[in-house]
Structure 1
Amino acid sequence: MSTKKKIGLYGGSFDPVHLGHLLVAQAACEEMGLERLFFIPAAQSPFKPGMAPTPAAERLRLLRLALAGKSNYEIDEQEIARGGVSYTIDTVRNYVGRFGDAELYYLIGADHVSSLHKWRESEELARLLKFIVIPRPGQPEAVFPGEFRGHSLQGFPLGVSASQIRERVRMGLSIDNLVAPAVAEAIRNYKLYL
């Protein structure tokens, strides 16, 4: 049995962070025995080149509110600090340098698993870490391509997305019970997503 520290990396736009993100984080920590989980907001997702995210300062504010008091979760701003398109390999190399003796796990939506071989420097990614797949309700279990390894989460599948939340805000509908109460209040107070 491995005694290496297990560290999870959770990249994404988090635009906004919602309860689905938090439930996935909890399931990943519990099922995989992660000691720490880093939320890593992207400066610009390579999967959404035409979509400009909400300014980083606002997304970070919402993440801080959502993660307040959760001692095994941390926010890593390195992709925002680097700017430009955020590539996972750059971030993973940073973690290998910082935590060379740890097992690294990267959380990924089931809808992205089949395209892992298209990610920048995918062979190195496959060698450096394992993936934790976030299942989508009603979708078949993801199959890893080639050399990629990982585990699909069992707990807490929730069919909510940040784009649905942004649309609800634009339509004047409630986002209570979809985001943490402090996040909902901040979105209202700062008039985000209108």
Structure 2
Amino acid sequence: MKIGIMGGTFDPIHLGHMIAAESAREAAGLDEVWFIPTFIPPHKQNLPQASAEQRLAMVQLAVSDHPNFRAVDYELERGGASYTVDTVKVLRQLHPELSFYYIIGADMVMYLPKWVRIEEIMESVSFIGLQRPGFEVNLTELPAKLAAKVQLVEMPLIEISSTYIREKMRLRQSVKYLVCEKLRIYMEANQLYES
């Protein structure tokens, strides 16, 4: 089976994440996409505003209607900073029979050589780079061994961010159609991001 991995803070998860995952699933012929919320993202300055439990609950709500999407709590269970190399190692140990494809934005593709222990990561996963209109990736600029592990996939330009949703929630403005309806109801019921 081919499994796509979507990692992120998901603070909160939104329809842009879902569209990205579905674009990757369809174009790369993935059997499933696993959404893995990070506990502490090592590359971000600020800690997530929602708790780990709330972020996992939001991901579970968001993926609940898709038969090929799953919420996975490996990084939340482990705690600490969430490095891809550690997550990939756990995935390989638990599921040696599966093929994993890490889904990233096209802008991140060119940063892959700077990832912590990228050589180890490359041994365990391939990458799906999501190309948005107006952002071109030139794989020839990557080391050949790494470029061979990257598949580029087209996706529509979706200008939604978790930051934008948090700000709208703080101002008590509608986030309808930015997140799935179950998630909108959950955020409002729990007064997430309102302070």
Specify which of 54, 57, 70 is matched with residue 58 of structure 1: 54
For residues 1-194 of structure 1, the aligned pairs below 5 Å read: 5-48=1-44, 50-53=45-48, 54-141=50-137, 143=139, 145-146=142-143, 147-148=145-146, 149-194=149-194
CA contact 1:24–1:157 (8 Å) conserved in 2? no
Displacement of 1:186 in angstroms is 1.1
CA contact 1:44–1:84 (8 Å) conserved in 2? yes
TM-score normalised to the size of structure 1?
A: 0.90
Displacement of 1:136 in angstroms is 4.0
| Mapped partners of 2:157, 2:121: distance in 1 | 26
3-state DSSP of counterpart to 2:77: helix
| Mapped partners of 2:76, 2:39: distance in 1 | 4
| Mapped partners of 1:145, 1:132: distance in 2 | 14
Cα RMSD of the aligned pairs, angstroms, is 1.6
Displacement of 1:19 in angstroms is 0.4
Displacement of 1:156 in angstroms is 3.2
Count residues with an aligned counterpart: 189
Question: What one-letter code is carried by the residue in structure 1 that aligns with 2:42?
Answer: P
3-state DSSP of counterpart to 1:153: strand
| Mapped partners of 1:42, 1:145: distance in 2 | 26
Unaligned runs of 5+ in 1: none
| Mapped partners of 1:40, 1:142: distance in 2 | 28
CA contact 1:137–1:159 (8 Å) conserved in 2? no
Displacement of 1:137 in angstroms is 4.4
Q: Which moved more, 1:11-20 or 1:56-65?
A: 56-65
TM-score normalised to the size of structure 2?
A: 0.90
Question: What one-letter code is carried by the residue in structure 1 that aligns with 2:108?
Answer: H
State the identity as a percent: 35
Given the superposition, is the C-alpha separation of residues 159 and 142 from structure 1 closer, same or farther in structure 2, using an over 3 Å criterion?
farther
